[in-house]
Structure 1
Amino acid sequence: MGTLCMDLFCAALTTICELVLPLIMRYITNEGIRDLAALSVKTILMLGALYLVLRIIDGIANYYMAYTGHVMGAKIETGMRKDAYAHLQKLSDTYYNNTKVGQIMGRITNDLFDVTEFAHHCPEEFFIAAIKGIAGFAILAMINLWLTLIIFVIVPVMVLSCMKLNRKMKKAFAAQRYQIGELNARIEDTLLGQKVVKAFTNEDMENQKFDVDNHSFFGIKKETYKYMGAFQTTTRMFDGVMYLAVVVAGGIFMVRGMILPGDLVAYMLYVTTFIATIRRIIEFAEQFQRGMTGIERFLQIMDAKIDIFDEPGAVELKDVTGDITFKDVSFEYPDDHNQVFENLNLTIRPGEKVAIVGPSGGGKTTLCNLIPRFYDIDSGEISIDGKNIKSFTLKSLRQQIGIVQQDVYLFSGTVYDNIVYGSLNATKEQVIEAAKLAGADGFIRELKDGYQTYIGERGVKLSGGQKQRISIARVFLKNPAILILDEATSALDNESEYEVAKSLEKLSKGRTTITIAHRLSSIRNSDRILVLTQEGIAEEGNHEALMEKKGIYYQFYTMADRLK
């Protein structure tokens, strides 16, 4: 607030300098015409010295506005971006399922750039305009009231015309921002999938799709520039009308002795300053609209509902044994209302190894996503160690759950960075030990820079098996009480699958483990196997019991054997 007040004070100082010059010129002109001999060099030098001091003050004040004012705007932008990013971390999977990442990136980068200029210039520009408008009207009215009224009658017509064009510009800028997000999303999608594009030789098709979005963006910008051109032309036309009024009406008033020549000179200078101010405010409307659009799009992120949050009185989950219970659980996805479970009941004992199999769409992954509260259930209760998971803080709940997925996500950075992500306070020795337990230490040391090897975006420089073992090392370092393996080996070749399976076997020891698998041979040794269908849990038991039953599991297993 202090910086803003100082910025406005400096804006007032620069305005005073502009208002004093016409008064100096008025005095010199009128005195010269009335009695040139009475106008001494000393008086002129004193007025010149006064104006020089004012210009020095103006320079200092302008530097403060240009530097500190912009820094103030940048701080606001930085704070907004921090808030937006923190809010995005709290949003559920439902939000990301329905929002393009390119749109989000545009909102927390490009849109907030314009907020910097808006936050800095908006207060000072309107403050300067207010001072010039009020002070200018008062001074001009003292010089000649009738001429002032003629000028100020034109102003409301000018403002109304520009406001109408302004609204159209705002819509155009909003459409422009949205289309930038669509372009970002298109570029991101294509570049991340560039291997698929090349594999199917669909470069031409992707170029055509990009051209459609790119030309759409061009059309929106063209529309924006049309309104900008109309806006600027309108302001210039009204400038000319105001100057014409001063020249014609002022000239007639001077001929009739209603205004002195010096007063007319001062009047013209004031009108020039006033017109420049109006033009600056009107032209600032473009920046204003960009800033307002940026703020509106920022607020759309901040207004996004946080679906998953800590319940009042939530406590930390500690000393977990790993007992998991689903009691009458019903769930449907919030965005498409697709019913997945209805009155599902399931109990997993501490340290038990449970495998879940079944047809696609049966809810295997969804069931596992409900335990760490990636989604909240509609009814029923999920409990850990006899307590509702909603009674625990999200952070402590998720700290006790380790997840290894088929689609491994590694961050851009080094091997070490990705393993230590499992426990940021871990020592180097602990990281290496986790890699050894995951069977990853050997190949890591063979890499160019060992643990400090840069692996590229999403780990593109590593094989599938290497990425999977690094993700397992990350979970070893986390040391969770509950382990979820979501088809962790289904995308690997036989050799990699064997190595990863050994790592997973080590990882699951002493932990409650839930395994989702399509390769049924990998779950034969599970304590219990659940067959999950759209109707719920259709079968359960160990491998031998389910094979003897010759039901759904038997069909899956024998079919897998025939396909070998």
Structure 2
Amino acid sequence: MAFQYEEKKKATIDFKKLFGSGDKKTPILREMFRIYKWKFLLSLLIYIIKDSPVYIVPLCTSNIINIADDVIHQSAPENYWMLILINSLVILGLLALNIPLHTVYAKIVDNMIRNASADLREAASKKLQSLSLSFGKEMESGEVQSKFIRDIDGVEAYLSNIIKSLIPAILTAVVSFGIALSKNWMVACFFLLVIPANVLLTGFFRKKIGKNYHDYRLSNEGLNRRFTTMMEMLPVTRSHGLEENEIAAMNDRVTDLRKKGLSVDYSIAVFGSAIFVLGGVLGFACLIFCVYLALGGFILIGDVVLYQSLFSGINSRVSAIVNIFPALASGKESLRSIGELMRKEEIRDDKGKLHLRPLLGKVDFVNVSFHYPDDSRNALSDFSLHVKPGECIAFTGPSGSGKTTVMNLIIGLLHPTSGKVLIDDHDLEDISLKHYHHHISVVPQNPILFHGTIKENITYGLKQYTEEDVKKALHIANCDEFIHKLPDKENTIIEEHGSNLSGGQKQRLTIARAIIRNPSIIIFDEATSALDNLSEHEVQEAIAESIKGRTTFIVAHRISTIQNADRILYMDQGKILESGTYEELLAKKGAFYRLKNIAEEEHNAKTINTLKIPD
């Protein structure tokens, strides 16, 4: 069987540049301009035209007032009605153009912003699929959800504020100042007072608002982490009567978030009020200054309206720029938060790596040592192993002996500190992991099922398959016994986490999911550890069928799960202590023999306790 997997389209924006470090980091606006340069320039041109009433209407209004003043003083030209009509038509024409131009402008700008947001979500999703195992220790799922949902929305709002508010406000202010400068340099110089006054006020509030947003973001992520933990621990909480403890812990987080949120709200409220008062004071000062110039004969009476309108436009735009500063600070914090995720170390770049066709399933460990970043001790020490295609190798031993580390090295989720892992005589470091993973399957200790049909669960990620493929996989995984009893057979809906199935049924469906991919290598990681004896027997039968013709690795503490393996490796402290068939290891009467006896004693004790008649 040959199956095809769906590929994600590549993100348009280069996020490696965007979320680099130091001098390698590219500002998001520059990266957007690189991608959407012509749309960006077209949107600016359309904005200047559509926004022209802001500065052209005051000019025309000033002309009409000056003409009226000339009429009153009997100094108006003979065609003054024509001049009034022309100015009026210009005003009406520009106002009429605003609607269609704004529609086109919004379409172009919204398209850029939505595309950038979609690119970011796709890149974040792709990043999450390529992170190393250590990522789960560094960042909890609640925090990741906050970054993926809340912070990407924050970045979208940040881009919207820059493109829709900041840049247009700067454009309008510059054009208005240019008109004022062309009419009267003294008034233009007065206009310049707006900028330093607002900049000084913004500088006064900037650090405080930025810090408040940072604290609020961290508190929100902490609440998300706590909520995720609370939901996962719900059965334990209820069984131990710890509801009040959990409520108190959540209330503490909620209270902290409320306080941090109020600090943000208060600083923004004070900042907004200060900007409003400053704008009013400057506007009044401009009116007095223009009246003074008109009384002194420096400007015409109609120009008072012109300059007052232009100043109000400039002041309102500068105030808008300053007012969106808190939103920009929030967006900047969201961008920094997303950067924490995007800069995490990936498993590895697959570009130019080898594709094995076909993959035979030969596996070799050559003097492999490995230690985790937060532990100086070796999880594996000078570990060597040769596995032939189709061979079944079982691992057992005490917890922490290195069994799971070996599995993760085979999968490619970890990389040797020293030594090599060879697949079909090729170093795994030289093989494309994405392609390699299409030829291996893993059956984990805890079955992972989602809300959907049985068929959807076992064909997860597959693009092409037949009904016969589904039925065959279910049969090999020993699922026929319970599938035929379900009302809709393989189209029966599985509840979230498989809550309407038994542990053994869920595990067998997980095996079916592994089998339908027709893997060359299959890994069972404690697949029977959480099952009762009957379920274990059913799953063992499924394992026995599924491993035929495949290189198989089984990690188990239960001896009954591994006794039919071609070789059993007893591991301790990162090394192979004993190796052989089930019979050979028992004959040695070593560590494996003692493990088997302990397991039998525990089983017998449980059986006696189960059969004991209560007093």
Runs of 4+ that moved beyond 6 A: none
Which of 519, 525, 549 in structure 1 is aligned with 2:558? 519
Give 1:491 shift: 0.6
C-alpha separation in 1, matches of 2:146 and 2:174: 40
The 1:246–1:461 alpha-carbon spacing in structure 2 relative to 1, beyond 3 Å, is: same
Identity %: 29
Which of 163, 184, 189 in structure 1 is aligned with 2:203? 163
C-alpha separation in 1, matches of 2:349 and 2:174: 52
Secondary structure of the corresponding residue to residue 458 of structure 2: helix
Amino acid at match of 2:55: L
Secondary structure of the corresponding residue to residue 371 of structure 1: helix
Deviation readout 1:433-490 (Å, 9 max, x if unpaired): 1101111133223334322222132222222111101011111211222222111111
Amino acid at match of 1:498: H
Q: RMSD of the TM alignment (CA)? A: 2.3
- Match in the other structure for 1:102: 142
- Match in the other structure for 1:243: 283
C-alpha separation in 2, matches of 1:399 and 1:253: 80
- Give matches, 1:375-394, under 5 Å: 375-394=414-433
Amino acid at match of 2:284: L
Give 1:336 shift: 4.0
Q: Tell me, which stretches of 5 or more residues in structure 1 are unaligned? A: none
Deviation readout 1:52-100 (Å, 9 max, x if unpaired): 1100112222222334422321111111111221122121112233212
Which of 147, 152, 176 in structure 2 is aligned with 1:136? 176
Deviation readout 1:405-451 (Å, 9 max, x if unpaired): 21111233221011112744221111111101111133223334322
Amino acid at match of 2:474: A
- Give matches, 1:386-425, under 5 Å: 386-421=425-460, 423-425=462-464
Whether 1:44 aligns to 2:84 is yes
- Match in the other structure for 1:9: 45
The 1:350–1:382 alpha-carbon spacing in structure 2 relative to 1, beyond 3 Å, is: same
Secondary structure of the corresponding residue to residue 35 of structure 1: helix
The 1:233–1:410 alpha-carbon spacing in structure 2 relative to 1, beyond 3 Å, is: same
Amino acid at match of 1:390: E
C-alpha separation in 2, matches of 1:264 and 1:113: 44
Whether 1:223 aligns to 2:236 is no
The 1:144–1:443 alpha-carbon spacing in structure 2 relative to 1, beyond 3 Å, is: same
Q: Tell me, which stretches of 5 or more residues in structure 2 are unaligned? A: 1-35, 604-615
Give 1:19 shift: 0.3
Amino acid at match of 1:158: N
The 1:423–1:126 alpha-carbon spacing in structure 2 relative to 1, beyond 3 Å, is: closer
Give 1:42 shift: 4.9
Whether 1:373 aligns to 2:441 is no
Secondary structure of the corresponding residue to residue 526 of structure 1: coil
* Residues 154 and 334, structure 2, Cα contact 8 Å, conserved in 1: yes
C-alpha separation in 2, matches of 1:183 and 1:73: 29
* Residues 151 and 245, structure 1, Cα contact 8 Å, conserved in 2: no
C-alpha separation in 2, matches of 1:422 and 1:228: 47
- Give matches, 1:94-493, under 5 Å: 94-310=134-350, 312=352, 314-421=353-460, 423-493=462-532
Give 1:337 shift: 4.4
Deviation readout 1:322-381 (Å, 9 max, x if unpaired): 332211110011344452011112222333322211111111111111111110111111
Deviation readout 1:487-538 (Å, 9 max, x if unpaired): 1111111211111111111112222222211111332232222110115111
Give 1:47 shift: 2.4
The 1:338–1:54 alpha-carbon spacing in structure 2 relative to 1, beyond 3 Å, is: farther
Amino acid at match of 1:379: S
* Residues 423 and 477, structure 1, Cα contact 8 Å, conserved in 2: no
C-alpha separation in 1, matches of 2:486 and 2:241: 32
Give 1:188 shift: 2.5
The 1:55–1:164 alpha-carbon spacing in structure 2 relative to 1, beyond 3 Å, is: same
Amino acid at match of 2:550: R
- Match in the other structure for 2:54: 18
TM-score using structure 2 length: 0.86
- Match in the other structure for 2:540: 501
C-alpha separation in 2, matches of 1:266 and 1:309: 61
Give 1:194 shift: 2.6
Q: Which moved more, 1:381-390 or 1:531-540?
A: 381-390
Secondary structure of the corresponding residue to residue 79 of structure 1: helix
Aligned length: 563
Q: Which moved more, 1:245-254 or 1:499-508?
A: 245-254
TM-score using structure 1 length: 0.93
The 1:187–1:275 alpha-carbon spacing in structure 2 relative to 1, beyond 3 Å, is: same
C-alpha separation in 2, matches of 1:63 and 1:163: 35
Deviation readout 1:253-292 (Å, 9 max, x if unpaired): 3333333322212221111111111121112223322333
* Residues 162 and 234, structure 1, Cα contact 8 Å, conserved in 2: no
The 1:152–1:443 alpha-carbon spacing in structure 2 relative to 1, beyond 3 Å, is: same
Deviation readout 1:129-184 (Å, 9 max, x if unpaired): 33333332233334443343234234213213213423432333233333333322
* Residues 422 and 474, structure 1, Cα contact 8 Å, conserved in 2: no
Deviation readout 1:297-320 (Å, 9 max, x if unpaired): 3333332222334375x3222344
The 1:29–1:98 alpha-carbon spacing in structure 2 relative to 1, beyond 3 Å, is: same
* Residues 422 and 475, structure 1, Cα contact 8 Å, conserved in 2: no
Deviation readout 1:104-124 (Å, 9 max, x if unpaired): 222222222233333344135
Amino acid at match of 2:259: G
Deviation readout 1:224-260 (Å, 9 max, x if unpaired): 1222123212212221221232233333333333333
Q: Which moved more, 1:127-136 or 1:325-334?
A: 127-136
Secondary structure of the corresponding residue to residue 109 of structure 1: helix
